[in-house]
Amino acid sequence: MSKPSVLVARAVFPEVVARLREHFEVEDNPTDTIYSKPQLIERLQGKAGAFTTGSERIDAEVLAACPQLRAVCNMAVGFNNVDLPACTARGVMATNTPDVLTETTADFGFALMMATARRITESERFLRRGEWTRWAYDMFIGPDVHGATLGILGMGRIGQAIARRGALGFGMKVIYHNRSRLPAGQEAPLGARWVDKATLLREADHLVLVLPYSAESHHAIGAAELAQMKPGATLTNVARGGIVDDAALAQALRDGRIAAAGLDVFEGEPSVHPALLELPNVVLTPHIASASLATRRAMAELAADNLIAALGCGPRAGRPPSLLNPELLAAR
């Protein structure tokens, strides 16, 4: 029997591609070209599976044009690039890579929040420009992290891991807003308190965004929300571009409405709103929150496990470990 064909849409660890070749005819992308939609559709012709990343948009049009596709396995925990209902309607299994990146992403989110609060990159730029000529009592003065109020919008796995760092490592008071409240047994060890969104905005000294992107969370932080935050507060986004209205944020930073922002994700990335690039009080990183070597390997391996299982191979044949549309299993 011939092996199913799959597309690995971006460059990925060669050993992961080699493992996929044990099960599939693999078209990979070692030059790491980002395919336009027509190119993606063309490459997906005759393919049963796709190993994707956030740069490939798998929407209803792509699915309709690729009727042989049976599995889309995204190497990311976020899957806003995949139209899940459209996949389900066509019987296409969709998977993501949760859990394996939780702690690494939380490390980065916390680091970005600290760098933002303590003005690490801003002061480094000053030093590199040769402007450091003397000590001054108020040089790069900023808010404390320890003992401050950590506000978390979106209290899933990564939000909880950030809360743990803040509460247990830095003595922070943790407040959060999420659609569903955590069970008391999960709140208690963190001293975490569920609050409504307005309270979160009003009380947080450091607000960290860790919620998934969807039509509902589009511009969850815009001018009106920024106006409710404390003037000395910081905002950190390690979730997705589009959750923050970047133009409104740039304006709020310019006006001193909030003290500073740390951003790993942007609307329309890899483009960055030009006003953000001009501002001193914003720490900018290129969507790298999960980028430790061990975690990126684990993500790639999990996406491969998902693809292998979704296409009926390996020890979990038919039952991918992180299936997003398990209703497809019930339908079999």
Asked if 300 interacts with ligand GLV (CB under 6 A), we say: no
Asked if 212 interacts with ligand GLV (CB under 6 A), we say: no
Which of the residues 25, 203, 269, 301 is marked catalytic? 269
Asked if 77 interacts with ligand GLV (CB under 6 A), we say: yes
Bridge partners of 236? 208, 262
Binds ligand GLV by CB under 6 A, chosen from 71, 76, 221, 300 = 76
Number of residues in contact with ligand GLV under rule CB under 6 A = 5
Which of the residues 240, 257, 273, 296 is marked catalytic? 240
Query: Which DSSP category does 73 fall into?
Result: E
Give the number of other CB atoms < 10 A from CB of residue 18: 12
C-beta closer to ligand GLV: residue 102 or 325: 102
| Closest-approach residue to ligand GLV (CB) | 78
Helix (H, G, I), strand (E, B) or coil at 193: strand
- In 3D space, the residue among 221, 230, 217 whose CA is nearest the CA of residue 250 turns out to be 221
C-beta closer to ligand GLV: residue 7 or 299: 299
Q: How many CA atoms lie within 13 A of 256 on its CB side?
A: 0
C-beta closer to ligand GLV: residue 234 or 290: 290
Which of the residues 287, 297, 316, 319 is marked catalytic? 287
Q: How many CA atoms lie within 13 A of 197 on its CB side?
A: 14
Work out how close the CB of 108 gets to ligand GLV at its nearest, in angstroms, rounded to a whole number: 11
- Specify whether 240 is catalytic: yes
Cα 100 from Cα 301, distance rounded (Å)? 10
- In 3D space, the residue among 154, 157, 165 whose CA is nearest the CA of residue 112 turns out to be 165
Cα 164 from Cα 155, distance rounded (Å)? 11
- Specify whether 219 is catalytic: no
Kindly state the tokens that stand for 173.
């008071």
Work out how close the CB of 223 gets to ligand GLV at its nearest, in angstroms, rounded to a whole number: 25
Binds ligand GLV by CB under 6 A, chosen from 78, 142, 143, 156 = 78
- Tell me which residues in 102-131 interact with ligand GLV (CB under 6 A): none
Amino acid identity of 253?
A: L
Options 71-79, 118-126, 157-165, 179-187: segment touching ligand GLV (CB under 6 A): 71-79
Cα 181 from Cα 165, distance rounded (Å)? 19
Binds ligand GLV by CB under 6 A, chosen from 81, 234, 236, 290 = 290
Options 11-19, 74-82, 135-143, 154-162: segment touching ligand GLV (CB under 6 A): 74-82
Kindly state the tokens that stand for 213.
């992107």
C-beta closer to ligand GLV: residue 77 or 145: 77
Kindly state the tokens that stand for 136.
């001054």
- Specify whether 206 is catalytic: no
Cα 18 from Cα 23, distance rounded (Å)? 9
CA pseudo-torsion sign 265, 268, 270, 271? negative
- Tell me which residues in 220-259 interact with ligand GLV (CB under 6 A): none
Options 38-46, 72-80, 180-188, 277-285: segment touching ligand GLV (CB under 6 A): 72-80
Amino acid identity of 298?
A: A
- List residues near ligand GLV by CB under 6 A: 76-78, 101, 290
